[in-house]
Amino acid sequence: MTVLTGWLAWGRRRRANKSLFVSSIALALFITAVYVWATLSPAPGDPARYLALYWVWGLCAIGVLLGMAEYKTSPLRKGRERGHLFILLYIGALLIVTRALNMFLYYDP
């Protein structure tokens, strides 16, 4: 646990940066969980689920904004330390992968 908190520079973060980081992580985990569920139980041609997942995909944009704000206030960025872009890279990957999954899982010709 000490290694993780050291890598995240948890002790050097201010309250605003901690809340942005936790919000970004929580949003990313929620989106990941929803799309894991959708992948395990697809419903091709279901317009209600397609729109709901499209809305969840839109939460990735909010996650990117939170991640960018976290990055700008991060003590890791100022010291050019490792790990300061982790959340942005993860949410960016979610943005791409979840959109592709939504199109693949719910496409109904």
pLDDT in tens, the chain (109 residues): 677 777 677 777 888 888 888 898 899 899 999 988 888 888 787 888 888 888 888 888 888 888 888 888 877 677 666 666 777 888 888 888 888 887 777 766 5
Query: Six-digit token pair at 10?
Result: 């948890």
Identify the DSSP state of 41.
S
Residue 56, Cβ density class (10 Å: 0-12 exposed, 13-18 middle, ≥19 buried): middle
Predicted TM-score of the model (pTM): 0.78
**What is the reported pLDDT for 108?**
65
How far is Cα 39 from Cα 93, in angstroms, rounded to an integer?
16
How far is Cα 48 from Cα 45, in angstroms, rounded to an integer?
9
Question: How far, in Å, are 23, 38, 91, 93, 103 from residue 15 at the CA level?
Answer: 12, 35, 22, 27, 38
**What is the reported pLDDT for 85?**
75
